[in-house]
Amino acid sequence: MANYIYDESGVTFYFFALTILSVILLPSTIYLFTSSADPQKKSKSNTLKLRARKSETKSKAPLSTAPTIYLFLFNRYSLLAFGWILLSLIAYQVKNTDIKTGPVWDPYQILNVDTGADLGQIKKTFKKLSLKFHPDKVKAEDRENAEAKYIEITKAYKTLTDDEARENYAKYGNPDGLISRTMGIALPKLLVEAHASPFVMSLYGIIIGFLLPFYVGRWWYNSSRYTKDGILNPTMITFFKNIREPISQLNLIDLLCAAEEFNSSELAFKESERSDLIEIEKKVQVANQTYALEAFVRSEKFNSDSAWKAKVLLYAHFLRIEIENQHLSIQQQSIVEKSIHLVHRGLIQISGVHGWSGCTLLLTSITQMLNHNLYGIHQIRRLSAEDKKDKLSFLGENANEVISIIDSYPQVEITKAVISVIGDSSITPYSIVTLIVKLKIVNSSPKHKSQDSSIKKVSEIFDNLDDSDIDSIEQVFNTISKDKKNTAEPPEVVAPYLAARKLSNWWFVFSNPLNSRNVVPPVLISDLVTEKIFSVQFQAPSAPGKFDFYINIVSDSYIGCDVQQHIKMVVVDPSTLPPVSDFDDDISEPEESSFAAQMAEARGQAGAKGHKNPNDSSDED
């Protein structure tokens, strides 16, 4: 049995606290100082914004003394500094505390002989000491001390001369074998005393009975409510049941507004908002008539008040109608940001699974409208610098800024597209076909021009290869399959009416115009900075013939920057290909003196003996 005692001096508790603090503080310090100095840097925009996010608006408002003190006390840097100060104090306390350890019982030391001394020396020394400290050989006043000393040397002598006792000492540190031990617990005795037990039990009850079940339950509740992409399960069910092909853009927006996210406590419709929403709806209807768009009406299928509210605020965003109600304006920003996520991770994914190219392209146009609704800028971009200034002279001092923004709109090109079967010169039915595409941003920023040497090399090979050069195609495919994702951050989208910071992404949509279906699911390209070469694979049709496909590169942010390219694929009938034996064979015949020739000759002789009738037609099989 082991006897447990609690820390009387606090030394072991200091070591325990020092270890726990070190485990927490060291990784936290490394993470904090290796990350961005501004924790919100990645969420802050560097482009023109006519709207501010709710968090940024609050940060600009004057703060009272109490919130300032609160923010200072609970700032991550303040907490980290407090932790290091506490760690230093505990380390100083540990350094200046004397650690008392019990004496180590050593029979060699008691007999005053060297460790590992032989039996003769041990007996000789014991005889001298027993004569010196025997109780009958000392004076009466020294008898008590001598008796204790005599017992010790006798015990030490028996330990070193008895085989069993010596083995026990080697194993357990004492001649009596395994005995009870006293073990210390790194908790102050104050915590387990009777007067402190109610507080300790209350602390245990709060942590184990309340906090732990609360956080575990909240985690379980959220994980069961949301998909892996952070969308509510009822929303995805609604999307799955109602999305179809063909479908109009108006119906897609109605379906988007039916998301359960817009019925949450934060964004749900409130009766006090009805009058303001009706006024906004009237402005939307007038704007639709002005631009000769479809009449704005409440959805008949998704007719809840929350869906109607989301639709009104989204159309006000599309048509750039100013919302005077500050509360609704803030909610509009949240609805727009959530809508971008719902389209990206919800509707487009479902459309891609079904292979609907028309629906997918409509959804990508909705993401462009969510960022900023424009009819396009390709006309003014074609003008010369002088003509641009002349056309935009009415803007006055802002003309140059507008021109620079127009010129910054990305011009993407499909510089080359090759369709082939890796390692084969022909495409046959049911074969695995690889499409390799190279994209280029023509007007990319000079700071993004530099590229890795390996990327430049494979780019040059791909630019110069011929469609029939199967070796070079395979080399390019193997290289881009191993390349890691580009770590450079794509440029930020210039979206003045979108409060959030948005990076430029592109959708790759590869479709068959005959059935309006996607050949492969849409691919989101999030690392196109200057150039990118990527590949997709799909199965060839079941019958030979000529097939037409369309490659669509669609921006998820900009309107008027999309490109489309036609590509043709020829599937040949395997029966029209030359037989395998007609191809050059690099394997030479074995020489007559070689072991392979001798084995072949032996097999031929054995086969000749096995034929009963050489004229039998079965021999020709």
Q: What is the pLDDT of residue 131?
A: 76
Q: Is the pTM of this model over 0.85?
A: no
For each successive 10 residues of the chain (621 residues), what is the average pLDDT? 54 79 89 60 53 45 43 67 90 76 71 76 80 75 78 80 75 67 62 69 84 86 84 93 92 94 89 93 88 83 94 90 90 92 93 91 90 59 71 73 79 92 90 94 72 70 85 89 75 79 90 90 90 92 93 88 92 80 49 48 47 42 37
Which residues partner with 378 through β-bridges? none
d(CA 523, CA 510): 9
Q: What is the pLDDT of residue 233?
A: 92
Q: What is the pLDDT of residue 77?
A: 80
Three-state secondary structure along 53-114? CHHHHHHHCCCCHHHHHHHHHCCHHHHHHHHHHHHHHHHHHHHCCCCCCCCCCCHHHHHCCC
SS3 category, 611: coil
**Contacts for 331 with CB less than 8 Å, ≥ 6 apart:** 266, 267, 313
Query: Is-contact 389 407, C-beta < 8 A?
Result: no
Query: Is-contact 553 360, C-beta < 8 A?
Result: no
Angle at Cα 64 formed by Cα 61 and Cα 70, nearest 5°?
A: 105
Q: What is the secondary structure of 4-53 as a DSSP string?
A: EEEESSSHHHHHHHHHHHHHHHHHHHHHHHHS-SSTTGGGS--S--SS--
